[in-house]
Amino acid sequence: MFTLFLREINNFFNNLIGYISIAVFLVINSLFLWVFPLDTNVLQSGFANIEGLFNMGPFVFLFLIPAITMRFFADEKKSGTIEFLLTKPLTDTQIVLAKYFAALTLVIFALLPTLIYVITVYNLGFPPGNMDMGATWGSYLGLLFLGAGFVSIGLFASSLTDNQIVSFIISIFLCGFAYIGFEFIYSLDLFGNLDLFIRNLGIYAHYTSISRGVVDSRDILYFLSLIVLFLLFTKIKLESRKW
């Protein structure tokens, strides 16, 4: 399992798209935080925080994570190596988990350079250090859980097809709907007492809750349930070859 994990990491960094994906993530966030004259601009806001990163991050993740996960199963199917992989002494669960943790590790690699933003804003504060670090770390935790959820959805999308582009599109749609789809349905106010329940089915409500710096066990349970659910879907799709 660990060998498969390392193989996926190496394959990602041996492919130019891996570096491009992470570079695009960092460039887009940097532009919104430091260059574009918007509310997300740290220098213009006058406040020592990087809320812009956590507001824009989920939407950048909508494209970054599908780009990372689109090849994990789709490419294996297209090249025929999936059959070779399935002959290895690995269970379907181990295969799914190895690929999942590899993709999640890559997402963490993309997030790590953004700590430079934290250090910079921390020192730019007046006085230096005048920054709400509790809310900042809570927002990072929320972004990490959101990324972990998107990765599980992306893996499932990749297991559905042997075409990476199709996997990419399906993943964007599913991640986008999971993030803001339920929020949109909630805003229509069509279901009366069920509206709040529908809103809580979506990622947005739980992501914003954690981002306030308050770690609620209900939000953690939601993200863990989402991850397990889509990993289970992926495992079932992988096992469907036996049917």
88-126 pLDDT tens trace: 788 889 999 999 999 999 999 999 999 998 888 888 777
Domain that holds residue 183: 2-242
Question: Is residue 241 pLDDT above 70, yes or no?
Answer: no
- The pLDDT of 210-222, averaged and rounded, is 86
CB of 175 closer than 8 Å to CB of 167: no
Question: Is residue 233 pLDDT above 90, yes or no?
Answer: yes
Question: Is residue 150 pLDDT above 90, yes or no?
Answer: yes
Mean pLDDT of the chain: 87
pLDDT of residue 166: 96
CB of 219 closer than 8 Å to CB of 146: no
133-149 pLDDT tens trace: 888 888 899 999 999 99
Residue 136 in tokens: 């900042």
Tokens 């998107």, residue? 150
Number of domains in the chain: 1
More confident residue, 184 or 79: 184
pLDDT of residue 242: 62
pLDDT of residue 9: 84
Nearest residue to 19 (alpha-carbon basis) of 95, 113, 116: 113
Least confident window among 28-32, 42-46, 66-70, 159-163:
42-46
- The pLDDT of 18-33, averaged and rounded, is 85
Residue type, 174: L
Residue type, 160: L
What is the pTM assigned to this prediction?
Answer: 0.93
168-214 pLDDT tens trace: 999 999 999 999 999 999 988 888 888 889 999 999 999 998 887 77
More confident residue, 159 or 130: 159
Task: Residue count of the chain, please give it.
Answer: 243
H/E run at residue 226? helix 217-239
DSSP code per residue over 88-129: SS--HHHHHHHHHHHHHHHHHHHHGGGHHHHHHHHHHSSSTT
Question: Is residue 11 pLDDT above 70, yes or no?
Answer: yes
Distance CA 205, CA 199 (A): 7
CB of 152 closer than 8 Å to CB of 170: no
Nearest residue to 20 (alpha-carbon basis) of 110, 102, 85: 110
More confident residue, 19 or 203: 203
pLDDT of residue 125: 73
Least confident window among 3-7, 55-59, 100-104, 174-178:
3-7
More confident residue, 152 or 16: 152
More confident residue, 241 or 39: 39
Burial-class residue 218 by CB neighbours within 10 Å (0-12, 13-18, 19+).
exposed
Nearest residue to 98 (alpha-carbon basis) of 207, 14, 206, 7: 7
